[in-house]
Amino acid sequence: MKGGKLVAFGLSLIVVVGVVIAVIVGTNRANNDSSSHDDKDDKVLATTSKSIASVCSQTDYKKACVNSLSSMANNQSATPKDFIEKAIEVAIQEVRAGMERSASIGKAEAHDSLQKMATEDCKDLLHFAIDELQASFSSVGDNELHNIADREIELKNWLSAVISYQQTCMDGFTQPELKNAISTSLLNATQLTDNVLAIVATISEILSAFNIPIGNSSNTSSATTATSRRLLEANNDDEEAVHNTENGFPAWLPSGDRKLLAARNNNPQSPPNAVVAKDGSGQYNTIAAALAAYPKNLKGRYVIYVKAGIYDEYITITKDQVNIFMYGDGPRKTIVTGKKCNRDGVTTYQSASFSAVGNGFIAKSMGFQNIAGPEGHQAVALRVQSDMSAFYNCRMDGYQDTLYAQTHRQFYRNCVVSGTVDFIFGDAAAILQNCLIIARKPMDNQQNTVTAQGRTNIRETTGLIIQNCRIVPEQLLEPVRFKIPSYLGRPWKMYSRTVIMESTLADFIQPAGWMPWSGNFALDTCYYAEYGNRGPGANTNNRIKWKGFKVITDRNEALQFTTAPFIQGNQWLGSTGSPYYLGLKN
């Protein structure tokens, strides 16, 4: 619901708008002289109102931005908040239109099962995109202008997901002509979403330029400084506190929650909402049946205990099934399995044995696998788009594309992930901490690539962080580990971002460390980094010389990729029951 316009700041905005906007536009024109922006951008901004020019000055698609806000050109009382709302509103309209166009094109042009499935995927993905844009619109509308900056992280989280959904839609098509047609049909939607993210990313600067107080920014700044100091200086003490507690759970977790999270089938101290058992000893024989019993208007968590067994069923935690906690008897005892794969005409998105969509999903002591084998090509074991999701003591086993960390903020602790080609991939803000990462023996003429991160916009808050993990070969790979090249990753998209830090890298990792995706694609624009790693594979003397790669030497730079600042783990991991540390391990 759209919030009311500001009263306290309204008059002052109108008074200063002309002066400040002129300064902003002038500054950006000066910057454009030494940047990659061409003269057309200046002309576009020069031919619109100063207010619209100020909002659109930092966007990548200025003409699209100006056109989307043109109806407000003569609104002299409009505030930056009004422009942001309008930009999101128009983006929603364009995503809806793009969804209709892509569905029509897919229906007419898709001639095989894979392309038809990709068309259906697009419909689902663009619905998710609209949901996230609507959440962004509501967040802006429900907050006073000076508080919007405090919502910047959340807005960027949602908008990053929108961009990922749009890209995933296009990636599903393998016929070049059809893929190009779908991309063209979504062009307006993708450009306007990009622009909204650019506007949100600079909201603090805009409000500061207007001399508008930014919520509790001064307090936030001091708090951030204090947090940084604590993460740098006291992290080892925090880690010790995590482990020296009842049942391995943090001391700050209430006793009742610790009992719940520690429940087992032998006289559980706090019974779950649903018990699944293949042998009939539970309330349900399948995980799907337990999920179907998810109550409406749920308050708190819905807890599902899945007893030991191999569950050959395709599971999706839907977007409406939020705050589910699912635990098993161990990652080698409670296993969800499947074998859908690209070879059999299934899109990567649809191949997952288990998909977690609803926000706040937690899994503990479970295994997820895809048994299609290396010849199945893309075959996902676990796909995660759940925001603020956590996986503790879990296994994800497959070959190509094992773990699809698709969108939002994700945390993995004490997990095992195995695979061959790009087996940890996606466009989430994901942290793997204290995990075992196992490269398997691939097919002939294949190489191993641990990661393939999918950030397509430099302003996205996404990236893949591997911290204090071990990257090792499986036993079958061990004797031929120097004959089969194994790399830490390759840049899947233009702004792929992956950081491996404080981890142990076995000797099978190629001295170059990373490999290209295709030619020179993204080598200058990606962000690939290593910090404080150990082991024979961690020697960086012969690493690739890309502009987009660096060995981090500044501790403060490494700190920005830790749990607290990167996924705001200090705000939500406490409720998951998973041990963690917020900053650097050492």
pLDDT in tens, 226-246: 444 444 433 433 433 333 333
Q: Answer yes or no: is 174 within a domain.
A: yes
Residue 209's pLDDT band (boundaries 50, 70, 90)?
A: low
* Same-domain check for residues 66 and 148: yes
Predicted pLDDT of residue 217: 41
Q: What is the mean pLDDT of the chain?
A: 85
* Same-domain check for residues 257 and 335: yes
Residue 49's pLDDT band (boundaries 50, 70, 90)?
A: confident
Instruction: Tell me the C-alpha distance between 479 and 190, whole Å.
Output: 47
Question: Dihedral sign, CA of 128, 133, 134, 140?
Answer: positive
By the 10 Å C-beta count (0-12 exposed, 13-18 middle, 19+ buried), 315 is classed as buried
The owner of tokens 């288990």 is: 354
* Same-domain check for residues 379 and 429: no
pLDDT higher than threshold 60 for residue 2: no
- Model confidence over 98-113: pLDDT tens digits? 999 999 999 999 889 9
Confirm whether pTM is higher than 0.85: yes
The owner of tokens 């209430």 is: 254
* Same-domain check for residues 206 and 323: no
pLDDT higher than threshold 60 for residue 195: yes
* Listed residues 383, 401, 436: the one ending a domain: 383
Specify the CATH number for the domain of residue 162.
Answer: 1.20.140.40
* Listed residues 152, 187, 210: the one ending a domain: 210
* Same-domain check for residues 197 and 62: yes
Predicted pLDDT of residue 10: 34
Q: Answer yes or no: is 187 within a domain.
A: yes
Specify the CATH number for the domain of residue 300.
Answer: 2.160.20.10
**Catalytic residue (choose from 422, 427, 444, 554):** 422
* Same-domain check for residues 367 and 435: no
Q: Answer yes or no: is 404 within a domain.
A: no
The owner of tokens 């999270």 is: 261
Question: Dihedral sign, CA of 19, 21, 25, 30?
Answer: positive
* Same-domain check for residues 151 and 276: no
**Window from 238-247, 478-487, 496-505, 524-533 with minimum mean pLDDT:** 238-247
Q: Answer yes or no: is 567 within a domain.
A: yes
* Same-domain check for residues 59 and 201: yes
Predicted pLDDT of residue 227: 41
Residue 259's pLDDT band (boundaries 50, 70, 90)?
A: low
Q: Answer yes or no: is 12 within a domain.
A: no
* Listed residues 364, 383, 402: the one ending a domain: 383
β-pairing, 436-439 vs 416-419, is parallel
- Model confidence over 336-382: pLDDT tens digits? 999 999 999 999 999 999 999 999 999 999 999 999 999 999 999 99
Could you give the number of structural domains in the chain? 3
* Same-domain check for residues 348 and 424: no
Q: Answer yes or no: is 215 within a domain.
A: no
* Same-domain check for residues 351 and 488: no
* Same-domain check for residues 376 and 426: no
Q: Answer yes or no: is 115 within a domain.
A: yes
Q: Answer yes or no: is 171 within a domain.
A: yes
* Same-domain check for residues 63 and 204: yes
Maximum Cα–Cα distance across the chain: 74
- Model confidence over 148-179: pLDDT tens digits? 777 899 999 999 999 999 999 999 999 999 99
* Inter-residue contact 540 to 513 (CB < 8 Å): yes
Predicted pLDDT of residue 5: 30
Per the structure, the complete domain to which residue 351 belongs is given by 251-383
Q: Is 320 a catalytic residue?
A: no
pLDDT higher than threshold 50 for residue 201: yes
- Model confidence over 435-464: pLDDT tens digits? 999 999 999 999 999 999 999 999 999 999
